[in-house]
Structure 1
Amino acid sequence: MTVARMRALGRAELTLLLRAKSALFTGAAAPVLLTVGLWSAVGEMDLAGTGLSPGTIMLPGAVGFMLLFTVYSNLVGVYVARREELVLKRLRTGEATDPEILVGSALPAAVLTVLQVLVLVVAGPTLLRVPMPSRPDLLAAGVLLGLVMTAAMAAVSSATTRSVEAAQVTPLPVMLVSLMGSGMFIPLDVMPDRVAEVCRLLPLSPVMELVRGGWAGGQEAAVTLRSLALAAVWTGLMLLAARRWFRWERRG
């Protein structure tokens, strides 16, 4: 069965993740440390007229950090390592299909991210005095689209990565642009209008708008529909790119 095969692949990948201390730290601890480290800077922002508070900036921002570190950066290394070790090539000779192999390999990162988001939802009101998400449907949609998008982005980035060592560097451009321009740390509402309009077109920007709208509420229906449509388009493009360029064998 498809589910059984993906579960088996995910279980094996989880075992490897627990043994790789650096990857586990990047996926589990880095988003938390980054969120805590940026708290004071967010507190100094001028948020007048935006309807936002430090809490409604940092909690959605933490979700973005998880998507970048726990899913995207981690999976670039996973896909490259399994390719160079010929694990992917051997798996393709069995019953598992290509999508099952890729999804199974991504399951531990996805599950860890969902668990982290649930912790934020439960602990946020107590630790940061932020109300529970007013639109959990938007939060769930943003997280789901973000998971699929960043996993596909990782597959695309792995195609241009020659070695496991290089996988520590390859994700950096995407991560830096997303951190600064997708509203994770600096909300688009406080940017100059022209800059904000350009940044809204970045892949993770609509995901962050959905997540922030889920927490803060008050988002207009047109903005929500635009975010959903743009996130869906980017997700589809990343999936198509992964299907086209993902490499299953060692680079020559």
Structure 2
Amino acid sequence: MNRVVSIGGAELLLLWRNRLALFNALLLPPVFGLLFVPRMSGTGISPAAAATLIGGMIGVILAIVVYHNLVGAYVARREELTLKRLRAGTPNAAEILAGTASPAVSIALAQSLLTVVVAAVYLELPVPANPLLLAVGLFGGVAVFVVLAAASAIVTSTIELAQITTTPMLLACFLGAGLWFPLDDLPAPVRTVFELLPLGPVIELITLGWAGTETLSDAFRPLLLLAAWTAAGITIIQRWFRWEPRR
């Protein structure tokens, strides 16, 4: 744990010096959130619909703060030989990846908590029916996007290329978050695709955790899907993640 904290402290300093990454992490998600305030303030919005919107906003935070920023961070540290030097030392692979991710993860969790509090007060929602399920959705989402960021870094040879390699996942998350339009309005095959993407189970678990569920079996599918995405990402990282610059 001490090694993770040490690596995270160094990464936080680098994040502070990178004004673009800092802007993406601190200001971009709140700006997106403000765009959807009019929709959330509509009359007659049900707790389930409000919970889905909150889950979508948290999903945007995870996509921007965790996934997008971390791909650039992993690639930058690899090209600077930082990962190689750390790998040659005492930290293991998991500690290096977790330490590098810790500042982005901390910011995302803080923004997600703020989103939950502000949205709950603004919409006058009742307290979450199942806080544990909501927490599992949030922390599971953080884990899967950290893993996916490391996996995306494998196919990203330069920092500049990260703007391209992260675009498909970002677009899928933005469209699949249900913020721009209700997913129920989409054709069934298209809706199913969005539900199977990494953000789908995160939003579903947050919605079930807040609005409640008659039976915990409703959470089995999103839990299984989230675990499958995480396991797939870890397998890819173990096989193909590079600790040296790609030449």
User: TM-score, normalization: structure 2?
Assistant: 0.91
Larger RCO (alpha carbons 8 Å, 6+ apart): 2
Q: Which residue of structure 1 aligns with residue 12 of structure 2? A: 14
Structure 2 distance, partners of 1:190, 1:44, is: 18
Find the partner of 2:161 among 158, 166, 181: 166
Kept in 1, the 8 Å contact 2:25–2:69? The answer is: yes
Kept in 1, the 8 Å contact 2:53–2:178? The answer is: no
Q: Deviation at 1:43?
A: 6.3
Shift in CA distance, 219/18, structure 1 to aligned 2, threshold 3 Å: farther
Find the partner of 1:236 among 215, 231, 237: 231
Find the partner of 2:207 among 212, 237, 244: 212
Kept in 2, the 8 Å contact 1:74–1:109? The answer is: yes
Kept in 2, the 8 Å contact 1:13–1:108? The answer is: yes
Structure 2 distance, partners of 1:65, 1:193, is: 23
Q: Could you list the per-position Cα deviations for residues 28-73 of structure 1 after superposition, in whole angstroms to 9, with x for gaps in the alignment?
A: 21111112113335667997xx8644x3333211110111001000
Kept in 2, the 8 Å contact 1:183–1:205? The answer is: no
The two structures, once aligned, show a CA RMSD in angstroms of: 2.2
Kept in 1, the 8 Å contact 2:52–2:203? The answer is: no
Q: Deviation at 1:218?
A: 3.4
Q: Which residue of structure 2 aligns with residue 149 of structure 1? A: 144
Q: Deviation at 1:165?
A: 1.4
112-121 or 94-103: bigger deviation: 112-121
67-76 or 19-28: bigger deviation: 19-28
User: TM-score, normalization: structure 1?
Assistant: 0.89
Q: Deviation at 1:151?
A: 0.6
Aligned length: 247
Q: Could you list the per-position Cα deviations for residues 170-221 of structure 1 after superposition, in whole angstroms to 9, with x for gaps in the alignment?
A: 2111110122135454443343333322322212211110012222223643
Structure 2 distance, partners of 1:121, 1:112, is: 14
Q: Which residue of structure 2 aligns with residue 227 of structure 1? A: 222
Shift in CA distance, 194/164, structure 1 to aligned 2, threshold 3 Å: closer
Q: Which residue of structure 2 aligns with residue 73 of structure 1? A: 68
Ranges in structure 1 where 5+ consecutive residues have no aligned partner: none
Kept in 1, the 8 Å contact 2:48–2:207? The answer is: no
Kept in 1, the 8 Å contact 2:61–2:108? The answer is: yes
**Percent pairwise identity:** 40
Shift in CA distance, 210/17, structure 1 to aligned 2, threshold 3 Å: same
Q: Deviation at 1:5?
A: 0.5
